[in-house]
Structure 1
Amino acid sequence: MGESELPEADTERDLDELDEDDRLRPEFVRAVLDAVEEGDVDAARALVEPLHPADIADLFELVPHEQRGALAHAVSDLLDADVFAEMNDYVREDLIDALTPTEVADLAAELDTDDAVAIIEDMEPEDQREVLRALDPDDRAAIEEALSYPEESAGRLMQRDLVAVPEHWTVGDVITYLRGHEELTTDFWEVFVVDPGHRPVGTCALSWILRTPRWVPVADVMAREQTLIPVDMDQEEVALRFQKYALISAAVVDGAGRLVGMITVDDVVHIIQQEAGEDVLRLSGAGEGDINEPIRLTVRTRLMWLLINLPTAMLAATVVGLFDERIARFAVLAQLMGIVSGMGGNAGTQTLAVVVRALATNQLTSSNTMRMIWRELRIAASNGSALGLVVGAGCYFWSGNPALAVVFGLALLINNVVAGLAGVFVPITLDRFDVDPAVSSSVFVTMCTDTMGFLSFLGLATLWGLGG
């Protein structure tokens, strides 16, 4: 939101920070900026201090890029680790660049390992090394280990701070251990039970521990069935497992099956939102779609996909060129052929969105592929028939030409069926070749619907002798 978009603050009344949808009010943002511009640090801090860390992060995202540094200076003591953990990646990078390696290290030390990794992983290699050198040895070792795992893997996502106990303990032993060690993490929902090789053998929910007599062995109350997450599993698959099995937290294990961390549902909620947004934006070729992304990166991403789409548009134009003489003799064809290709494109996009989502959520697998194809074929044929009848009737009443009406309706039916099949086959085929169907499916589906739309309509018109 640019500075010119922020209305003048009402200084004669107390400002409510949030509106009915829990979004920062423009008047509040304007008041904070006014205080910063006037050099009134105390006023700015007084306005920002009551905000939740997530709302402070939102404030920095709403402020124009060139004013974030001044705002950060004014409320520097409020920019703790919780705020940075909630902040947009690009906005966070802006502020991190303004901090010294020691200050970044202090922030990272306060964060869970996964959040600290998110801050450090995008830094320049030299800056990254300086920050790691400034960390305590234990924190440095944990973060370096996380950075050794592939990006967007469970190893990057997991937290190292967890509670694990041996299976021969009693419930009383666990309670005494939890109360007697202040260095243990305070944010957990279950205790992991491990064997002598530190391999997880079960879990105990905190509610079970609190409601069970102290003398009962942990092995008698723990749940032996658990979902283990391999350290190299992709974060999207991790999110699907949390969703499928309704998990609150899950143990992460290395190649030898040893417990190395845990993933909690609050991290997964963020991943689900991120992955869903990425798939939608990839279908349109819009890149990350982040409004805080630098303009040069956005231009580069969008231009690349526009250039990739150019050959498909040229192919469709070539098909039209094959019938230019007939179009010249019967100009109404030029008016109608865009409707055929456009309606096919819309139908293909509908099918494509459904199939890409089904693939992403594991609803569509090799076990039900043929059923999915048959389902979408019937839907496409039904919709195409209905649309063909409607536009055919409309064309007849508009032009009075029954042959043109039949050709128009049949072409729409054919292209709708082609769109439905392309919307299924293209993403499935790409997925079989380990290519993300959300990235490039739309290019091929658009090519099919445009080319077949023009070819079916103009080809049928030629066969029928229209304009001959």
Structure 2
Amino acid sequence: MSDTELRNDGRLEDEHQLDADDRLRPEFVDAVLDAVENGDTEEAHRLVEPLHPADIADLFELTPDERRAPLAAAVADLLDGDVFAEMNDYVREQLIDALDARQVADIASELDTDDAVAIIEDMDAEDQREVLRAMEPDDRAAIEEALSYPEESAGRLMQRELIAVPEHWTIGDTIDYLRGHEELTTDFWEVFVVDPAHKPVGTCALSWILRTPRSISMADVMQREQTLIPVDMDQEEVALRFQKYALISAAVVDGSGRLVGMITVDDVVHIIQEEAGEDALLLSGAGEGDINEPVVDSYKARVRWLIANLFTALLASFIISMFETTIERMVALATLMPIVAGVGGNAGTQTLAVTVRALATNQLTQSNTARAIGREIRVALLNGVTVAVVIGVGVSIVFGNPMLGGVIAAAMMTNILVAGLAGVLVPVTLDRFNADPAVASSVFVTMTTDSIGFLAFLGLATASGLVG
């Protein structure tokens, strides 16, 4: 069956291959949904069938909520495990809810353990039990074991389908084993070598196996140095190890050191993307920030930080009210004070972003915290001097008042220095108390820069006798 290509006039025509950029253009999505709405399931199926599983998943994400169920019914036989593995969590959960336990079990059985766990772990407890009861005993045992590990741990992330051979085997024994067992996993880059207690003692890349004479022992050709991942390690730490040591795959071991699974780089790429996006969204207080997230969930995630920002803004307003008389005597102060707070806030945000990233990637630890703080103070001083000179000279010229220029320069210098300190101290302090520094840091940093900015500028203006 041929793929489809979109012509410039928006009509669909048969071609041998669909350009990647055209797969999910609005015209294509509309054509599929219109076919479903018109009851032409055969046409909808014809259009969707050539798509890659990831593109089918994207098609469902682009489809409005109320039209996903009819689309799923029209292309039900194309919704295999690979499609669900690529699907957005919220969209997948919506479709899974529409399937019975037997169907979910069949889909999960097609997947590697880690992908199957990703589908089942978000289900309600009762639904989980029904699905697990419908699965084959071996598959059920593997998934139940994975679910027993903490969320976002290596145990949840790992797959149990791997190749492990004893160290006394020869290269020939290993090759014969790989060729003679069709049930073995086909997605692997290296063979793990284990001792009689099933503890990993080394790894052997497939390229080495294929290029080594059959008579050579695995123990003689394997690489003994390897990176082992504890089964309870947090997935962020797993990703950092893969990144630091340039790993393609790694063995996962339990508390006794026995090999229980492996993690591959394709899984880690997803984790890196998720964690990076999550930290960026948490810094803004936007929750998970998923456009498929239910409206009520998005509201709950965002409103609490807006309320927190409201109270911090009230604090800044209170500081301004303390200098109401000063502002009345010199209106220029009201014009200039948002500049001091705004630039200070930007300076704090810059430092905050650098610090949160450093904490997330383990670049910033207890051993180098003092050095990092010293570095940010030096950066803040340089930034402060530069911006203070620019704003001081500019205000002096525009308002014809050198003293006003000096006051705003001093206030700007003070606020940028405080912003630099807050940008590093706030997230570090939260991290020391085991709180996520990406969640609440921005609220405290903004409160600090706004309050100090107004206090420094208006306080210096009052103390200097600028306002008669």
Q: One fold, TM greater than 0.5?
A: yes
Name structure 2 gaps, 5 residues minimum. Answer: 1-7
Matching residue's letter, 1:354: V
Structure 1 residue 307, shift from structure 2 partner: 1.5
Distance 2:182 2:164 in 1: 15
Structure 2 CA distance for aligned equivalents of residues 92 and 23 of structure 1? 21
Are the counterparts in 2 of residues 193 and 203 from structure 1 also a CA contact under 8 Å?
Answer: yes
| Structure 1 match to 2:79 | 79
What's the offset of the Cα at 1:367? 2.4
The aligned counterpart of 1:48 is: 48
Q: Distance in 1 between matches of 2:172 and 2:395?
A: 82
Distance (Å, rounded) in 1 between the aligned partners of 2:23 and 2:301: 30
Match of 2:221 in 1: 221
- CA–CA distance in structure 1, aligned partners of residues 23 and 31 of structure 2: 15
- Cα distance in 2 for residues equivalent to 1:79 and 1:47: 14
Give the Cα separation in 2 of the matches to 1:117 and 1:17: 33
- The AA in structure 1 aligned to 2:466 is L
Instruction: Work out whether 1:266 is the aligned partner of 2:276.
Output: no
Q: Which amino acid aligns with 2:456?
A: S
Deviations 1:191-234 (A, max 9, x none): 11111111100001011100000000000000000000000000
Which range moves more in the overlay, 395-404 or 88-97? 395-404
Deviations for 1:153-192, whole angstroms, at most 9, x for unmatched residues?
0000000111111111111110111111111111111111
TM-superposed deviation, 1:62:
0.7
TM-score (norm 2): 0.96
Query: How big is the shift at 1:438?
Result: 0.8
Post-superposition offset of 1:319? 1.1
Residue 95 of structure 2: aligned partner: 95
Q: 2:403 maps to which residue?
A: 403
2:4 counterpart residue number? none
1:219-368 matches, cutoff 5 A: 219-368=219-368
Q: How far is the alpha carbon of 1:458 from its aligned partner? A: 0.5
TM-superposed CA distance for 1:9, in Å, is 7.9
Partners in 2 of 1:14 and 1:260 — Cα distance?
48
Match of 2:143 in 1: 143
* Identical pairs, percent: 72
Matches of 2:39 and 2:377 in 1, distance apart? 65
The corresponding residue for 1:182 is 182
Aligned equivalent of 1:66 = 66
Residues 300 and 23 of structure 1, relative CA distance in 2, 3 Å threshold:
farther
Deviation per residue, 1:28-69 (Å, 9 max, x gap)? 111111111111111111111111111111111111111111
Q: Aligned AA for 1:149? A: Y
- Residue matched to 1:31: 31
User: Helix, strand or coil: the match of 1:384?
Assistant: helix
Question: Aligned partners of 1:332, 1:23: CA distance in 2, in Å?
Answer: 57
Question: Matches of 2:108 and 2:79 in 1, distance apart?
Answer: 13
In the alignment, is residue 164 of structure 1 matched against residue 164 of structure 2? yes
Shift of 1:13: 4.1
Q: Structure 2 CA distance, aligned partners of 1:440 and 1:147?
A: 30
Separation of aligned partners in 2, 1:272 and 1:246: 14
Where does residue 123 of structure 1 map in the other structure?
123
**Deviation, structure 1 residue 17:** 5.0
Q: Decide whether the 8 Å contact of 1:17 with 1:25 is kept in 2.
A: no
2:174 partner amino acid: V
| Partners of 1:17 and 1:28 within 8 A in 2 | no
Paired residue for 1:442?
442
Q: Distance in 1 between matches of 2:14 and 2:175?
A: 48
In structure 2, give the amino acid aligned to 1:76.
Answer: A
Question: How far does residue 103 in structure 1 lie from its aligned partner after superposition?
Answer: 0.2
Q: Which moved more, 1:398-407 or 1:364-373?
A: 364-373
Q: Secondary structure at the match of 1:229?
A: strand
Partner residue in 1 for 2:152: 152
* Count of aligned positions: 461
CA contact under 8 A between 1:9 and 1:27: conserved in structure 2? no
* 1:23 Cα deviation after fit: 6.4
Alignment-mate amino acid for residue 68 of structure 1 = R
What is the CA distance between 1:310 and its match in structure 2?
2.4
Partner SS, residue 250 of structure 2? strand
Query: Counterpart in 1 of 2:392?
Result: 392
1:12–1:130: structure 2 CA closer, same or farther, 3 Å change rule? closer
Deviations 1:336-370 (A, max 9, x none): 11110011000100110011101111111222222
SS across alignment from 1:451: helix
State the one-letter code of the partner of 1:196. P
2:415 counterpart letter in structure 1:
N
* Structure 1, unpaired ranges of 5+: 1-7
Distance (whole Å) between structure 2 residues aligned to residue 77 and residue 258 of structure 1: 40
Distance 2:392 2:26 in 1: 51
Partner of 1:461 in structure 2?
Answer: 461
The answer on whether the counterparts of 1:9 and 1:30 sit within 8 Å (CA) in structure 2 is: no
2 CA distance for matches of 1:444 and 1:313? Answer: 11
1:357-409 alpha-carbon deviations (Å, 9 max, x no partner): 01111111222222211221111111111111111111112111111111111
Query: One-letter code of the match for 1:236?
Result: E
Counterpart AA for 2:377: L
Q: How big is each residue's C-alpha offset from its partner over 1:300-334, in whole Å with a ceiling of 9 and x where there is no partner?
A: 11001111222222211111111111112212111
d(CA) in 2 for partners of 1:308, 1:171: 64
Distance, in Å, in 2 between the alignment partners of 1:84 and 1:12 is 27
CA distance in 2, matches of 1:286, 1:18: 35
